[in-house]
Structures are given as C-alpha cells and as structure tokens.
Amino acid sequence: MTASDILLRVENLSKHFPTKTGSVKAVDGVTFDIKRGTIVGLVGESGSGKTTAGRCTLRLIEPSGGRLIFDGKDLLSLSEREMRSYRRRMQIVFQDPYSSLNPRMRVEDIIGEAIDTHNLARGAAKRERIAELLTRVGLDPEHGRRYPHEFSGGQRQRIGIARALAVEPEFIVADEPVSALDVSVQAQVLNLIQDLQQSYGLTMLFIAHDLSVVEYLCDEVVVMYLGRVMERGPSRSVYAMPRHPYTQALLSAAPVPNPKAHRQRVILQGDIPSPMNPPSGCVFRTRCPYAIDACAEVVPPLDPIAPDHHVACIRRDDPVVLSQGKRL
C-alpha cells in the first residue's frame, strides 16, 4: 500500500473538552487510514466519541492534538482561509434530517448555497445543476421550489446528500445518515449512498452504531470505545473473527436473520464510564468479561495481528477470548 492510496490519514487524533472539574477526553489518540474510494465504518455505542472524531476530521470541531493528513497535506496546519479551499473536497451528511436543513430556505437555495460558495455555476447553469443533483438523489427537480418541512425524513436526507454532492467532494463523512429514518427508508438511502459512492468513486467515513449496516457497506471497520480505538481492520476479517472483547460484545448483540442460529451472547454489564474519569489502563476493562488485574495497569497498544488488522487488547491471544471470537 503506497501513501498515495491513502486519501485521509488520521494520526493520534484527540479532542479534549475542558470543563470545570477536569477535561473530557472525547477522542483520545485515534489513528486510522482511509484509502481512496473505500468506505471506512466508525462504530461504537453512544458516548464513544465517534461523532466527535468524525467532526474533527473535517475541522468542524477543532481537534486538541494529532494530525490529519488529507491528500498529503496536514489539514491542522492550515489557516481557516486556506481550509476553505479544502472544504470543497470534503463534505458531511448529518444524522438528523430535520435540523440539518435550514427551515427558512427553499431546497434550491440550500443546494444553491453550496454552488455559490465555491462559484461553481451561475444562472441557468446553476439551476440545471440543482435539477441534476435532485434527480441524482431520487427527487423531482420541481421539488427545488419547496421548503424542507414539506418533505419526509428520507426525502430530507436525500436533500442533505444532494447538498454534500453539489461541490463534487472526494471525501464524505456520513454521520449515522440512516439511524433517524424508518427501517423501510433506511435501505433506500443506504442503497443511494452506496450507488453514489461507486459511481463517483467517493471515499467515505461512515459513522454508525448499527453493525449490520456497516458490514453491508464498509470495506474497513474502526471500533471505538470511550474515545479510543479498540479494534480496526478489514470488515471481512473483523466480522469473521472479532478479536477484541468489545467488538465481540457488539457483534453478539446484532440480530441475525436466522431463528435457528445459536450464539453465545456476550451481555455487557453497566453503562459506558464517564469520559471525565476513564478507567486506568484499558478503558473497556470495567465492563470486559475477560478483564484481569493487568488490564488496569497498561494502556493496551493497538497491535497488528494481521496486515491491516489491529487490536488493542492484552488478552487478544488468550484461548478464552479467541474461542469467543470464533463462536460468533
């Protein structure tokens, strides 16, 4: 794998929010690569820092530390003005289709603003481009005259996608783009995203908490817990043989469409600890069924166990953990 294959390299990214009683480590030393034309899934439960990490990669939230190498350039070294030209190359699709569209703007103005900001087209060419984008995401070009409240959740999400596509980006962060939609609509929007990704050769960071969605869509998976990466690797190998106890627990909780399938469920106890005061050593140890005393002492490094497959667990080769992974 050469460096030019990688569109975005996230290195040791962290975001600490200062509070009166100490800092909240929402993202703490996250590292992963996204190859051109691939989709990387970022998964984890609520509070794992996946959304913050996604926002940080676009500098919508200013990271506290680390590097973001986008197409060979460290984004964090750019000024706000220099960043503006990169904004055209990277876009975001939001989770909530209701609050992500300005209620006082017509759809054509929402999409038109993206075109205007980067002077991509004017007058008739702009109208044509808006119609083309609306058609591309499965809406009627006539819908441009309407306001967001006249659309359903799924249609609104399509408008949000059209806005992101309007600037012809290379990289899109999709922040749980279907989790707020009805199940019947989810599949349609997912298919649209996949179709667009393939036809435009988009590179994507797909943030989700639904593992089946990620398995269906993503080339690689990054599993986060309490601001840190627990496991990352190609979807195929992570799903076939999850090595981190947290990934195992997540996968065992996902429903399987086979009533006869027997699985060893891993039921996690308790809630995710406060990121203000994370456990020492491995942050997952307080809920890990295999935690031993040593887990409290060292922060487990993200070690490679196969090409591209990394796991942060000191007991990853322990037979108990291995066999649980095989059973899933």
Residues in contact with other proteins by CB under 8 A are 55, 58, 60, 83-85, 87-88, 90-92, 94-96, 99-105, 113-114, 117-118, 147, 149, 160, 163, 167
How far apart CA 161 and CA 125 sit, in angstroms, is 20
- Closer residue to other proteins in complex, CB, 7/311: 7
- Closer residue to other proteins in complex, CB, 116/318: 116
- Closer residue to other proteins in complex, CB, 57/235: 57
Smallest distance, other proteins to C-beta of residue 17, A = 13
- Closer residue to other proteins in complex, CB, 85/152: 85
- Read out DSSP for 27-56? EEEEEEEEETT-EEEEE--TTSSHHHHHHH
Smallest distance, other proteins to C-beta of residue 111, A = 10
Smallest distance, other proteins to C-beta of residue 58, A = 6
Smallest distance, other proteins to C-beta of residue 80, A = 9
Query: What is the maximum span of the chain, computed from C-alpha positions, in angstroms?
Result: 68
- Closer residue to other proteins in complex, CB, 95/252: 95
Smallest distance, other proteins to C-beta of residue 105, A = 7
Q: What letter would DSSP give residue 293?
A: G
328 within 8 A of 252, measured Cβ to Cβ: yes
How far apart CA 31 and CA 124 sit, in angstroms, is 44
Smallest distance, other proteins to C-beta of residue 53, A = 15
Q: Is 315 exposed, middle or buried (0-12, 13-18, 19+ CB in 10 A)?
A: buried
Smallest distance, other proteins to C-beta of residue 241, A = 37
Angle formed at CA 123 by CA 115 and CA 170, multiple of 5 degrees = 20
β-strand pairing of 90-93 with 6-19: unpaired
β-strand pairing of 22-35 with 6-19: antiparallel
- Closer residue to other proteins in complex, CB, 104/265: 104
How far apart CA 135 and CA 212 sit, in angstroms, is 28
115 within 8 A of 126, measured Cβ to Cβ: yes
* Number of C-beta neighbours around residue 18 at 10 A: 9
- Closer residue to other proteins in complex, CB, 85/191: 85
